């Protein structure tokens, strides 16, 4: 009998996909199709959760089949991330008129990413204090206890096994082909560094042997055009990917765990919302309409929310910045790539700050002590380099920060039942931080196409795929 329900659930998914295909053929805008997929995914996931309940075999098998569409879409995006980062950054640099422009561009992007992460840490501290969060309030079940013990046992390998200079060395690629496989958590930033070196080398070659430099430039431009065409083909699948991802996420969400830890969940999302508002305020401070910005980035943030992958969102991030926001191509490439591995406001800023404040009283530290807050904010800013841009990066960031503050790390394991739900919001904030850094940097350097930014149809031109 179970097989009947599984086939029925698959048939429903195929029917909804058929509806989205019909909408595409009727030339319904991309953003409307994305939100239709998002909404129908929530409804479908809720029905599955209600009909079968968490842990049922039918639900598990159904979501396995759904993952062919959802996780398959993410895999396609991850497939193109490294080629896109490699070629786009090289192409951006060799199109610069002066090498000095590269320093200004990267300096502003990194500065905005890190400074906003430090602000996010302060917001996280405030949220934990206002909601009176404490590690002692959380009761650990068997799964949470095992997770906490595992984090404690692996801490030496992850954090304490390397000194700060060794961690910095991890950013420098020793085998670029290994990093192109995404083997390390710092692989994306290593590819960025390699790409920057190649780009600078071409600029130098242009002065000494312009013919060879021109030949290489033509090759890079041709490869870039092919890569961007692949990106376009993959992005056409976004409404279907979001549909399946959202249905799977809602169907498998542990609502009992969310209710049990509701205070922490509420505090987390309040902090995320406050930081998101600060992003919009920054956009407004630089003379841009924050509501226009918000309308244009929402489709990208919707995917980031459902996929929980900053790295997987890089292709959409770059596309939206260039085509919808009018950000300079080089700035968009840099900010999206850097934003996936450093300065993540949600994962590397708010989350570890909240945990530190919750743990502090249990080890005899006053969380409101100015010296403690200063230490915490600075450590979060420094440690936000090289955070993995996929689901789970927040746990890695928490391990680094808590161990640097000489605090126990087991609390990160006690939150396992709600980790995925909160990580969705954190990832969306991370991606928005990257897009804000690109928008503001382009504005500061005078490279923002304000006409495109203010064009209400630009998002549809970008997305009528």
Integer CA distances (angstroms), 128 to 148, 151, 363, in order: 20, 22, 16
- In the block, residue with structure tokens 């409307």: 32
> Among candidates 207, 204, 206, 169, which has minimal Cα distance to 190?
169
Integer CA distances (angstroms), 106 to 103, 333, 344, 450, in order: 5, 11, 16, 21
CA distance 279 to 272: 11
2-463 placed in CATH 1.10.1740.110: no
Long-range contacts of 439-442 (CB under 8 A, 24+ apart): 439/283, 439/286, 439/288, 439/293, 439/321, 439/325, 439/327, 440/108, 440/112, 440/282, 440/283, 440/286, 441/105, 441/108, 441/109, 441/112, 441/331, 441/335, 442/326, 442/327, 442/328, 442/331, 442/332
Query: For 342, phi and psi rounded to 5 degrees?
Result: -150, 160
Q: Give the predicted TM-score (pTM) of the model.
A: 0.78
Q: Which SS3 state, helix, strand or coil, does residue 385 take?
A: strand
Query: For 151, phi and psi rounded to 5 degrees?
Result: -65, -40
> Among candidates 263, 444, 423, which has minimal Cα distance to 346?
423
Integer CA distances (angstroms), 10 to 7, 45, 126, in order: 5, 12, 45
Residue 256: what pLDDT?
62
Long-range contacts of 212-218 (CB under 8 A, 24+ apart): 213/94, 216/94, 217/94
Q: Helices 351-359 and 262-285 sit at what angle, rounded to 10 degrees?
A: 130
Tens of each residue's pLDDT in the chain, 465 residues: 578 888 999 999 999 999 999 998 988 887 788 888 888 998 998 898 888 877 788 888 998 999 899 889 888 888 888 888 888 888 878 877 666 677 888 889 999 999 999 999 999 999 998 988 876 655 544 444 444 444 455 445 444 455 556 666 777 788 888 888 777 766 777 888 888 889 889 888 888 888 898 899 899 889 988 988 888 888 888 889 889 988 888 887 766 656 657 788 889 999 999 999 999 999 999 999 999 999 999 888 988 888 888 878 888 899 899 989 999 888 998 898 888 878 889 888 898 898 888 888 877 888 888 898 998 998 888 777 756 544 456 776 777 777 777 777 666 555 665 677 788 899 999 999 999 999 999 999 999 999 999 987 766 444 445
Residue 255: what pLDDT?
66
Contact status, residue 384 vs residue 348, Cβ threshold 8 Å: yes
- In the block, residue with structure tokens 């692996």: 154
Alpha-carbon torsion, ordered 130, 135, 136, 139, to 10 deg: 120
The total number of residues written for the chain in this structure:
465
Q: Which SS3 state, helix, strand or coil, does residue 141 take?
A: coil
CA distance 348 to 184: 18
CA distance 316 to 6: 32
């Amino acid at each position: 009998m179970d097989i009947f329900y599984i086939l029925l659930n698959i048939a429903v998914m195929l029917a909804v996909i058929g509806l989205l295909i019909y909408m595409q053929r009727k030339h319904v805008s991309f953003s409307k199709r994305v939100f239709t997929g998002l909404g129908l995914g929530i409804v479908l996931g809720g029905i599955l959760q209600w009909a079968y309940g968490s842990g049922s075999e039918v639900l598990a098998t159904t979501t396995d089949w759904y993952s062919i569409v959802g996780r398959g879409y993410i895999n396609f995006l991850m497939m193109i991330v490294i080629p896109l980062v490699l070629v786009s950054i090289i192409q951006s640099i060799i199109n610069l008129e002066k090498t000095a422009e590269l320093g200004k561009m990267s300096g502003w992007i990194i500065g905005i990413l890190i400074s906003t992460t430090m602000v996010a840490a302060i917001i996280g501290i405030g949220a934990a204090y206002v909601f009176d969060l404490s590690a002692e309030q959380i009761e650990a079940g068997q799964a949470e206890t095992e997770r906490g013990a595992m984090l404690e046992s692996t801490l030496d390998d992850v954090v304490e096994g390397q000194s700060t200079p060794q961690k910095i060395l991890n950013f420098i690629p020793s085998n670029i082909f290994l990093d192109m496989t995404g083997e390390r958590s710092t692989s994306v930033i290593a590819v960025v560094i390699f790409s920057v070196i190649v780009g600078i080398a071409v600029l130098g070659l242009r002065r000494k042997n312009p013919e060879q430099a021109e030949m290489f430039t033509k090759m890079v431009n041709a490869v870039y055009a092919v890569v961007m065409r692949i990106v376009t083909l993959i992005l056409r699948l976004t409404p279907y990917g979001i549909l399946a991802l959202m249905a799977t996420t809602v169907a498998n969400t542990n609502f009992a765990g969310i209710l049990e830890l509701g205070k922490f969940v509420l505090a987390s999302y309040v902090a995320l919302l406050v930081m998101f508002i600060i992003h919009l305020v920054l956009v407004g401070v630089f003379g841009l309409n924050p509501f226009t910005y918000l309308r244009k980035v929402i489709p990208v943030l919707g995917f980031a929310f459902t996929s929980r992958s900053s790295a997987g969102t890089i292709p959409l991030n770059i596309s939206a910045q260039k085509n919808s926001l009018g950000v300079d191509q080089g700035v968009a490439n840099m900010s999206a790539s850097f934003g996936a591995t450093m300065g993540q406001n949600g994962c590397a800023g708010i989350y570890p700050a909240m945990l530190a404040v919750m743990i502090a009283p249990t080890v005899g530290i006053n969380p409101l002590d100015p010296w403690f807050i200063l230490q915490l904010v600075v450590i979060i800013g420094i440690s936000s380099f090289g955070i993995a841009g996929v689901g789970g990066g927040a746990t890695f960031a928490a391990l680094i920060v808590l161990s640097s503050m000489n605090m126990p790390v087991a609390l990160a394991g006690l939150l396992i039942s709600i980790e995925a739900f909160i990580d969705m919001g954190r990832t969306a904030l991370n991606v928005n931080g990257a897009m804000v850094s690109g928008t503001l940097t382009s504005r500061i350097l005078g490279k923002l196409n304000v006409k495109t930014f203010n064009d209400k149809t630009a998002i549809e031109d970008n997305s009528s795929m």
